[in-house]
Structure 1
Amino acid sequence: MNVQQRARERCQWLPDLEQASGPRYKALVELMAADIALGVLEPGARLPPQRLLADALGVTVGTITRAYREAERRGLVEARVGSGTRVRSQTDNRPHFHHLTRAGDDSIDLSLSIPIPTFRREQQLALSLQQIATQPQAINTALSYQPEQGCLDQRQQLCRWLETQGLALSPEELILTEGGQHADFLALQALIKPGEAVASAALTYPGMIAAARQLGLKHLGVGTDAEGIRPDLLERLCQQQRIRLLYLMPEYNNPTGHSMSEARRQAIVEVARRHDMLLLEDGVQFVPPQARGTPMHELAPERAMYIFSVSKLLAGGLRFGALRAPANLLPQLRAALRAQCWSSPALMGAVTCQWLTSGEADELLAWQWDEIRHRQALVRELLAPYEVSAHACGFHAWLRLPEGRRAAEFVQLADTQGVTLIAAEPFCVGSQPAPQAVRLCVTPPPTREALAEGLKRVRRLLDDEPPVPAPLL
């Protein structure tokens, strides 16, 4: 019996490539998709190891590797270190935002990254709507088509408000968007071609993971330390292959809470310039001016973009944000936005800008940042001496579990104690193994007392001995 015959006997899935036309790897993916649809390959089924399948089919390992990667890009399979490549479960919704999966009425939700609930938001929104209703020009603007970049007056208003927050931006370099996630997707769709590579921290915002996957981009994770993305690992990755864009959150990474020093930001810019790489800074995790470092677009204005959103400041439901970009990139971005939605809704922009510039928003934000500082202090107090990283003004904290504890099981245990958490897996880029850690959002509870109670329940679970697995019979 030769090598191919032995390999064919050992393969749990063996597609027929004899009648296939075109590139072998593409034919293999199509056969895989067909067998998944027919139920031949069931959710969770493990595919043959790449070398084994290559021997069985008489093709190169590179052909199988390329097919598996394409299948993963299309969401057919999922590769995980230590468990091989498996058919993705039909109920697998990764990455899972949890934005709409709220905790039950009797549970304390620490999973959502949202503004702190307060009656002030409803009151201020109502007031802004009333003020807009008395402004004929604003109403006329809201009823009219606007240029792709958005209403110029609204861009000017937004820039004036951002300047009070320590961000110097020009209306000419801004594109108004329907929130930060829209800005993420817009930048990737307009500037990166399917199959090209983008990079981010190995643990990053699930919205970026979803956007890259939807657009057929190769998304690579970069190792980090306490200051975020490591320049040496980014340099090594750029030497191995062409990286078109780096997505990053310098103020504090979601989910790890790591913040970049000025030296680290400059080092990242130097790598980007050496390899002609675009930078996409996500500023949605907004912090006060005194807590903010130098934005990437000030360090590298020719290649850095910046995303702003009011989702964490005023309300996620407003869906209002902006994308700052260099002049040479604006034509491509405008064309992409025009094809998507023509322009962001002028009515939403009018209401949001009215709210921001009225002075009401400043009082709300001063209260919220002060409240978050107190809540982060509670995290440090109640979860000491466990390993927690967070920004003092951050919406969340990152808790690394003690040795022997598994995040998935910990999240389930917390749920039985009336606390909703989110584990690391939705934040993992590609086939990066998920660390045993959970994200704790400090903003969903309406009061500090409710947050403290949730943290105490988490602390009790941490202090308890992990459950002993039942013996196998």
Structure 2
Amino acid sequence: MTMTGKQPAWLPDISQRPGPRYRAIAAALQDDIGSGSLPIGAKLPTHRDLAWRLGVTVGTVTRAYAEAERSGLIGGEVGRGTFVRDPRPAEAPTGDDSGVIDLSVNALTQRPNEERLRQALMQLADRGDLSGLMHYPPVNGSARHRQAGAAWIEQTTGMVADPALILPTAGGQNAMHLALAAITRPGDSLLVERLSYPAVKPLAGLLDLRLVPVAMDGEGLVPDALDQAARTHGAHALYCMPRLHNPTTVTQSAPRRQALLEVCRRAGILVVEDDVYGFLAPRTDPAPLAALDPERVLFLTSLSKNLMPGLRTGFLLCPPPLMDRVRSLLRATLLGVNPLGAELAAEFILSGAALDCAGQRRALVAERQAQARRLLRGGASDPACPHLWLPLPEPWRREDFARALLGRGVRVTPADAFAVARGDTPHAVRVCIGGVERTDLLEQGLRIVAGLLAEPAAMGESFV
């Protein structure tokens, strides 16, 4: 690296790297970020500057940066430049023993479920047919597992689902993969909310899909913007989170859902509806999109947030015409879902333990939301949501705020992790309040966040 003023100017050696030069640049970026040579938050050279110093075209650098951005390694903002992102997945456990208060992982404390798990495992061990769970699983899952999926969907949404149209999956992300692969082909455009669950980006890369961001407002997706994006890009698939949206916490109203489905019917759009946080929402919430148009919507849910992520159990409700394709995809990728985990999940659901746990989770989130509102005045996050969406006052910038906060011992997730496209990313951070076991630590972390917001003079040299 060479030095330009105070900032190191990144200059990779791509002479020995095989393949197209844009891939060589992207691979060098990945290696240098992984090794720490390019630290999180580092500003990268402009496209034109790096192209001149490497002796390549500007288009080659643009393509390399785009590939790295699609992988979640870097992100840019119009007028400010391109920066290295934290490569750690936003939803992954950190295992951080450094004393940092981690408010970046959207999970719920596991302590209430430890005894439930112990009892369920003992009951399962005492069964006479335990060895039957160790055979190759049926690709559809057992009738009991499908029945459990239908019960969970009805318990959390009020929607009555046919068990024959439900597939057990290895968690919500496996359900996302199956659903999106079923309704798209390589090279297709996929419509998504402008700010979306971060896992959709690497999944789109795996399926060779082009993500098309759709504008949002205080009720979520904007119908006119969805219609325009579908027409412009010829898109026929949509992934969205209508309830307790991650990260904005927004829940779509009933009229908004009807308006969005009208657009989807006119444009021939199939919808993947993600409802992994639905168990926290009031039963008075509007009906799911899948209940309003079951022939058009694939509905997915999971037990990871309510019970425990390690179960890796979710459910996918499919329209009948898509069932054969989804089964084929499941058979080709997993053969079938782990029957031991699926049986544990079925026992939790059919015994009523999962629903009981959901009630405790709602109470936990309500208490922590009240704690957050007391310490962070002016927030507009949904009180049923396990995370906060915190817009930052001027002149804060999201990367600087997250970096300064980490320096004070608190980790949050800046909006870049959720942004689907370059530019127009709000200066905001997501603050997760459910995963910290001790309420005193959560209190300490939220006070640090509030204190930093009240200290504009501490915003750092990027504002000089």
Deviations 1:407-432 (Å, cap 9, x if unpaired)?
Answer: 22211222232222111111110324
Q: If you compute each CA radius of gyration, which structure gives the higher value, 1 or 2?
A: 1
CA contact (8 A) 1:424 1:435 kept: yes
2:206 corresponds to 1:194: no
Matched, 1:33 2:26: no
Further displaced range: 283-292 or 267-276: 283-292
Q: Residues 72 and 201 of structure 2 are in contact (CA less than 8 Å); yes or no, is this contact kept in structure 1?
A: no
TM-score by structure 2 length?
0.84
* CA deviation string 1:259-297 (max 9, x = no partner): 100001111101110110011110111224525321111
Q: Given that residues 146 and 166 in structure 2 are in contact (C-alpha distance below 8 angstroms), is that contact kept between their aligned partners in structure 1?
A: yes
Partner of 1:405: 396
Amino acid at match of 2:271: L
Correspondence 1:268-287 to 2 at 5 A = 268-286=260-278, 287=280
Instruction: Write the mapping of 1:313-462 to structure 2, written as runs, cut at 5 A.
Output: 313-385=306-378, 388-462=379-453
Conservation of the 8 A alpha-carbon contact between 2:141 and 2:337:
yes
Distance 1:110 1:276 in 2: 40
Secondary structure, in 3 states, of the residue corresponding to 1:253?
Answer: coil
1:195-236 deviation digits (Å, cap 9, x = unpaired): 100011111100112211222100011111111111111111
Q: Does 1:211 align with 2:203?
A: yes
- Using the alignment, how far apart are the partners of 1:262 and 1:76 within structure 2? 34
Closer/same/farther in 2, CA of residues 472 and 187 from structure 1, 3 Å limit = closer
What CA deviation, in whole Å up to 9, does each residue of 1:178-203 have, x standing for no partner? 00011111122232111100011111
2:89 is the counterpart of 1:96: yes
Residues 149 and 168 in structure 2, CA contact (< 8 A), matched pair in contact too: no
Residue by residue over 1:27-63, the C-alpha shift from the partner in whole angstroms, topping out at 9 and shown as x without a partner, is xx92422466689x998444349xx9xxx98xxx9x9
Distance 2:77 2:462 in 1: 26
Mapped to 1, the partners of 2:354 and 2:132 lie a distance apart of 22
Aligned to 2:290: 297
- 1:229 paired with 2:218, answer no
* Match for residue 170 of structure 2 among 178, 185, 188: 178
Separation in 1, partners of 2:78, 2:62? 19
Aligned pairs, number: 436
Partner SS, residue 243 of structure 1: coil
Could you list the structure 1 runs, at least 4 aligned residues long, displaced by more than 4 angstroms after superposition. Answer: 34-39, 63-79, 83-86, 92-95, 468-473
The alpha carbon displacement at 1:98 in A equals: 4.8
> Which of residues 304, 312, 315 is equivalent to 1:311?
304
- Aligned partners of 2:386, 2:217: CA distance in 1, in Å? 20
Task: Check if 1:260 corresponds to 2:252.
Answer: yes
- Greater Cα shift, 181-190 or 201-210: 181-190
When the two chains are superposed, the root-mean-square deviation of aligned CA atoms in Å is 3.4
Q: Contact 2:22–2:63 (CA<8 Å) still a contact in 1?
A: no
Q: Indicate how the Cα distance of structure 1 residues 465 and 128 shifts in structure 2: closer, same or farther if over 3 A, else same.
A: same
Aligned residue type for 2:300: I
Matched-pair contact (CA < 8 Å) for 1:111–1:420: yes
Query: Cα 1:72–1:103, aligned 2, differ >3 Å: closer, same or farther?
Result: closer
Query: What is the rounded CA distance, in whole Å, between the counterparts of 1:472 and 1:174 in structure 2?
Result: 53
Measure the CA separation in 2 of the matches of 1:472 and 1:181.
Answer: 39
**Local SS of the residue matching 2:92:** coil
CA distance in 2: counterparts of 1:148 and 1:440, whole angstroms: 38
* Aligned CA distance change for structure 1 residues 470 and 323 (closer, same or farther; 3 Å): closer
- Structure 2: where are the runs of 5+ without partners? 1-10, 33-37, 39-43
Change (3 A) 1:194 1:466: farther
Greater shift, 252-261 or 413-422, is seen at 413-422
Identity of aligned residues (%): 28
Q: Partners in 2 of 1:453 and 1:468 — Cα distance?
A: 20
- Residue 20 of structure 1 is matched in structure 2 by none
Cα distance change, pair 312–71 in 1 and its aligned pair in 2 (3 A): closer
Cα shift at 1:401: 0.6
Instruction: Look up the equivalent residue of 1:445 and give its one-letter code.
Output: V
Aligned-residue offset at 1:325? 0.8
| CA positional deviation for 1:156 | 1.1
Q: What TM-score, normalized by structure 1, do the two folds share?
A: 0.82
| Alpha-carbon distance in structure 1 between the residues aligned to 2:80 and 2:440 | 45
